[in-house]
Amino acid sequence: MAKMEVKTSLLDNMIGVGDMVLLEPLDEDSFINNLKKRYDHNEVYTYIGSVVISINPYRSLPIYTPEKVEEYRNRNFYELSPHIFALSDEAYRSLRDQDKDQCILITGESGAGKTEASKLVMSYVAAVCGKGAEVNQVKEQLLQSNPVLEAFGNAKTVRNDNSSRFGKYMDIEFDFKGDPLGGVISNYLLEKSRVVKQPRGERNFHIFYQILSGASEDFLCKLKLERDFSRYNYLGLDSAKVNGVDDAANFRTVRNAMQIVGFMDHETQSVFEVVAAVLKLGNIEFKPESRVNGLDESKIKDKNELKEICELTGIDQSVLERAFSFRTVEAKQEKVSTTLNVAQAYYARDALAKNLYSRLFSWLVTRINESIKAQTKVRKKVMGVLDIYGFEIFEDNSFEQFIINYCNEKLQQIFIELTLKEEQEEYIREGIEWTHIEYFNNAIICDLIENNQTGILAMLDEECLRPGTVTDDTFLEKLNQVCATHQHFESRMSKCSRFLNDTSLPHSCFRIQHYAGKVMYQVEGFVDKNNDLLYRDLSQAMWKASHSLIKALFPEGNPAKINLKRPPTAGSQFKASVATLMKNLQTKNPNYIRCIKPNDKKAAHIFNDALVCHQIRYLGLLENVRVRRAGYAFRQAYEPCLERYKMLCKQTWPHWRGPARAGVEVLFNELEIPEEEFSFGRSKIFIRNPRTLFKLEDLRKQRLEDLATLIEKIYRGWKCRTRFLLMKKSQIVIASWYRRYAQQKKYQKIKSSAVIVQSYIRGWKARKLLRELKHQKRCNEAATIIAAYWHGTQARRELKRLKEEARRKHAVAVIWAYWLGLKVRREYRKFFRANAGRKIYEFTLQRLMQKYFLEMKNKMPSLSPIDKNWPVRPYLFLDSTHKELKRIFHLWRCKKYRDQFTDQQKLIYEEKLEASELFKDKKALYPASVGQPFQGAYLEISKNPKYKKLKDAVDEKIIIAEVVNKINRANGKATSRIFLLTKNNVLLADQKSGNIKSEVPLGDVTKVSMSSQNDGFFAVHLKEGSGAAGKGDFLLSSDHLIEMATKLYRTTLSQTKQKLNIEISDEFLVQFRQDKVCVKFIQGSQKNGNIPTCKRKNNRLLEVAVP
C-alpha cells in the first residue's frame, strides 16, 4: 500500500483555493467556480478563515476513517487541508487546554448534511477524548441519543430522506481533563403539523414506519396495529418506502439505542403505546347529525378504533367520545358546553394527535437528559453543538417558515457580531490598529419581527388575544397599518403606494426582505398555528387516562389545577427559546459549519450552480469573506511562515539562528515587498492582499524547483563518485583473491607429489614386515594345535569318569524320592477324604463371586443421582451384598455430582435444604416454591436510576430485595414497600421515592409467624423495648415468602448464632404499638380471584381470607 502524501500546510497541493479569504478575484462567479472545482476533486470542505463550508457529497468518502482522526489530532487548524475534523479538534483543544467554553453552529437548508455534520463532530470528540469504562459509557450514551431523536424527530422530505424536523442544541459537558461527563439537549419547534398531514412525496416521522416494518407480530398485536401502511390515514402512501432505507433494521437500532441511553422496558413500552395511539387517532372519522334544537353535531362513524385507542391509553371510552363531540368553555364561575360540528371534530382530533406527539417528543428529550446529564457537581467545561434548520424559501411559505427564518436572522446577527468581535480581538491581541468595517447589520429585520410593541410577532399575539372575530385577513390589515413604512416590509394592501401594482405579490400575502433575500409569506393559517389550541375537554380526558405517561403529558387536565389563563402562543414561546439560545451562544467561543446542498436530486457528482448560488446568498458567505478581508486577508505565526519561505533569502537559508520575527523581517526586506502590504504583530505576520501571498507561493515554487535541480545535480555527482570508488575497491579485492588462488593451486600440486613418494616407501616397508609376521604366526599356531590335542584327550577321560559317578548318585536320589512319596500318600489319604467337599465349595463360591463382579462391571447404570436402575440380583445368597453395593455406588455418584457444584450452587441447594426442613409438610405454599430458584435481588437497584438514592443509603451487600405489601393495622389495606435484607439489618423503603421508612437490626427480630395455608402473609416480631419496636411488629405479604423466610432465618443464624423461631399457625398474635391483634386465617371464596384479602373485623382481630 502506497504511503499517503503528508501535507504540512493548507497551501500545499491545493486544489483551487482552500481558504476563500485568499480567493482572487472575489466575486460570486469565482466563489462558485472554486467550490465546484474542489467538489469535482472530492474536496467537500473549504474554509472562510475559521468557518468551514461543507458540501454534501451524497456518497461515502474515505475521509472519516480512524487514520484521518489521528492525522488531524492535535494539529494546527491551517496545517492540513480543510476538514470538519480540523474545526472539531480546534474547538476541543481550546476547551481542554484554554478552558474556553465552545459552541459549534451548523446551519444550512434541508438536505445539506447538517445532521451528518453534527454526528461527525460528536464522533471525532468521542474518539480523541479520554478512555475508560465510565467515560466510554458516557460517550456511548451521548452518541446513541442521536438514533432515538432521529427516529422521532426526522422525516423523509422531497429534499432529504432524513430531514430533521426540529432544531437541536446539545451541550456536551467535560471535566478538567477533557473527558466527557454528560450532556444536555434542547429542542426547538418540532414540525408537529407533519403528524396529521404531509406534502406530496414526503413521509410522516420515521418512527411510524419503523414500528410497522420492524416490530414482531406479537408486539404489533399488543399495540393493536397492523403491518399494512394503507390502513392508517396519517401515513402518506406515495412515499411509504424509501430506497436504501431499511425501516426494520432502524427499528432494532432505535430499541437498542433506547436501552443504552437508559430507558427502562416499561418506559419503552409506554412510548410505543403513545405512538400507536397517535397513529390510530387518524383513523377516527365523523359523520354529521342534527339535534332537535337545530344545531349541528358530529358522531364517530366506527367506534372500534376509538375502543382500541381507549384500551391502549386506559381512558374511559365515553369520556373520550364526549370530548370529540362537545367543547366546554369556562369563564369565572360559568361553564358553557357547545357541540362540535364535523369540521371542528376533525380539528380537535388532529390537534390532539399533534399535541400528543409533540409532548411525547419533549418528554423523550427530557428523559434522555436525565440519563446523559453529568452526575458530578464539579465545575464543567461545555461544548455546544447546534443543528438547526436553515433559511427556507419555498413556493408557499407559512408560519413555520416565518419563525424558522426569524431564527436564522438571529443566528446571522450573532454570527456577524461574533466574527467581527473575534477579528477585533485578534488585532488588539497582536497590537495592530483596528479599522472599522462596513457591513449590513440585520438588526433592523430582527426588530421588525421581534419588537415588543410593533413587531410582527407582537402584532400576531395581540390579534390572537383580541376579542371578537379574528382571522388571518384582520392580522394582515393590522400589519399593513403598523409596518407599512418599514423599508423591509412589503404588502399590496399597505399604505405604501409602490406595491399597489406589484402583481407578483398577492393580496393575501406580505413580503419581508431578509438578509438572504426576499421571502413572500401567505397569512393563511398564521393565527391558528400561533394559537395552537387544544380543547380543555381533550386535556382533561387525557389526564383521566390510567396510562401513566399520557397522564404526565397533560398536567393542565387536572381539574384541581384548572388555569383559566390563556396558554402562551407558539410564536412567543419560540421567541423566548431563541432569546435563551442567543444568550447561551454569546457566552461561548463560536465555531461555524455552513452546509450547502449541491443539487436537488440527492445524487453524487452533480453540482447545480444556480442552487449553490442561492444558498451562498442566503448564508451570507460572500459578506463573510469580505468581513475577513476588510483588514488583512492572511495571517500566520512567525515560526511556520519562516519555515515555509526561508529558502527565498540567502540569509535565512538553510537555517536562521535568531528570533523567528527577525528572520521574517529580513526575508520580507530581501524580497522588497511594499510595507503597506503587510504588518508585524506580536506573534503573527499579517498580509493585506492575497496577491502578495500568491506571489510568495510562486517564488517559493520556483525556488523549490531550483533547489530540486541543485539537489539532483549533487546527488548524481555523489552517485557517480560512489560507483567509481566501489569499482576500484572491487578490482583490488578480485586481484588479491586471484593471487591467493594461484598460490594455493601450486602448493596443492607439490603436496600431491610428496604424498605419492611417501606412499610407495611406506608400502615396501609394510610388505616386508608382513612377511616376517606371517612366519612367526605359523610357528605359534603349530605349537598351539599340538597342545590342544593333548589337553582334549585328558579332558575327555576326566569327563567320562565324572559322568559315571553322577549317574550312580542320581539313581539313589530317585529311588529315595519314590519311597518318601509312597510314605506320604499312605499318611495323607485319610485327611484328604474328610476335607474335599469344603474345598470344592469354597472354590465354586469364589468363581461365582468373580463372575458376579465381572458382570456388574459391564451392567453399571449411569452416574445420574436420579437414575433408579440397578442390575438384577443373580444369586439369592448375594442379596445383602447386592444392596450394599447399590448403596455404596449411589453415595459415590452423589459425591461425584456434588463435586461439580460451584460455591453459588452449593449455597442455593443449602438454602433449598433449609427451606425443606423448615416448611415441608408444614406450609401449603412450600411445594410451589421447590421448582423456583432463589434469586434474592428481584429489583435491579444498582441499575435502575430510580433507586439511586436507596442504593447510596445502603452500604452493605443486599441479600434480598423485593417489593412486599405492608398491611395497615387500621383497615387491613396493603401499601407497597421495598423489603431489603442485609447482613445486619432488615429495611423497609418507600417504593416510589426510595426513602427508608424502617431499619431493624437482625438482633431485634425474635420470631417470624405465618399460616399453614397457601398465602404469602407473614409477621416479623420485634424484641420488646428495642428501638425498632416503637410502632410494633410488621405484618407483610410477599410472592416469595418461602425464600424470604429462609434467607432471614439463615442470615439471623449466621450473625447472632441463634436460631430464629419460625411459627406456623393459622392464628397468631401481632403487636401493633401498645395493642396485640390476633391474625386469623380462614378459607373463603374471593371476588378478585385467587388473591388473599385482609379485613379488620374489630380492634383485636384481623381476618385473612385465603382461597
CB 473 within 8 A of CB 523: yes
Nearest of 530, 251, 936, 694 to residue 521 by alpha carbon: 530
Q: How many whole angstroms separate alpha carbon 1104 and alpha carbon 1084? A: 9
Nearest of 386, 378, 429, 435 to residue 407 by alpha carbon: 386
The active-site residue, picked from 46, 50, 146, 163, is 163
If you write DSSP's letter for every residue of 896-910 in order, what string do you get? Answer: HHHHT--HHHHHHHH
DSSP for residue 693 = H
Give whole-number Cα distances, 477 to 469, 490, 522, in Å.
13, 13, 13
Q: Within 13 Å, how many C-alpha atoms sit on residue 177's CB side?
A: 9
| Positions of E strands within 302-377 | 326-331, 334-339
Is 390 catalytic? The answer is yes
Cβ atoms < 10 Å from Cβ of 956 = 12
* Per-residue buried b or exposed e for 528-556, using 16+ beta carbons within 10 Å of the residue's own CB: bbbbbebbbbbbbbbbbbebebbbebbee
Q: How many whole angstroms separate alpha carbon 986 and alpha carbon 1002? A: 7
If you write DSSP's letter for every residue of 584-634 in order, what string do you get? Answer: HHHTSEEEEEEEE---SS--TT---HHHHHHHHHHHTHHHHHHHHHSS-SE
CB 290 within 8 A of CB 299: no
Is 111 catalytic? The answer is yes
3-state secondary structure of 44: coil
User: Cis before residue 82, ω within 30 degrees of 0?
Assistant: no
Cell of 777: 604366526
If you write DSSP's letter for every residue of 636-679 in order, what string do you get? Answer: EEHHHHHHHHGGGSTTTSS---S-HHHHHHHHHHHHT--GGGEE
The active-site residue, picked from 110, 157, 298, 313, is 110
The active-site residue, picked from 390, 557, 620, 1032, is 390
Give whole-number Cα distances, 312 to 222, 223, 276, in Å.
9, 7, 8
Residues 6+ apart with CB under 8 A from 992: none
The active-site residue, picked from 157, 160, 530, 1009, is 160
Is 976 catalytic? The answer is no
Cell of 1009: 409467624
Q: How many whole angstroms separate alpha carbon 1028 and alpha carbon 1051? A: 18
The active-site residue, picked from 392, 417, 477, 524, is 392
Q: How many whole angstroms separate alpha carbon 974 and alpha carbon 992? A: 15
Residues 6+ apart with CB under 8 A from 638: 659, 660, 661, 663, 664, 683, 684, 685
Strands 102-107 and 381-387 turn out to be: parallel
Q: How many whole angstroms separate alpha carbon 789 and alpha carbon 776? A: 21
The active-site residue, picked from 164, 270, 539, 692, is 164
Nearest of 996, 1016, 1018, 998 to residue 1007 by alpha carbon: 1018
Q: How many whole angstroms separate alpha carbon 97 and alpha carbon 121? A: 18
Is 178 catalytic? The answer is no
Is 160 catalytic? The answer is yes
Cell of 383: 461544548
The active-site residue, picked from 88, 107, 115, 154, is 115
Q: How many whole angstroms separate alpha carbon 1078 and alpha carbon 473? A: 78
680's enclosing H/E stretch is strand 678-680
Q: How many whole angstroms separate alpha carbon 869 and alpha carbon 879? A: 16
Give whole-number Cα distances, 222 to 312, 420, 513, 587, 816, in Å.
9, 58, 53, 49, 111
CB 300 within 8 A of CB 306: yes
Q: Please identify every residue annotated as catalytic.
A: 110-111, 115, 160, 163-164, 390, 392
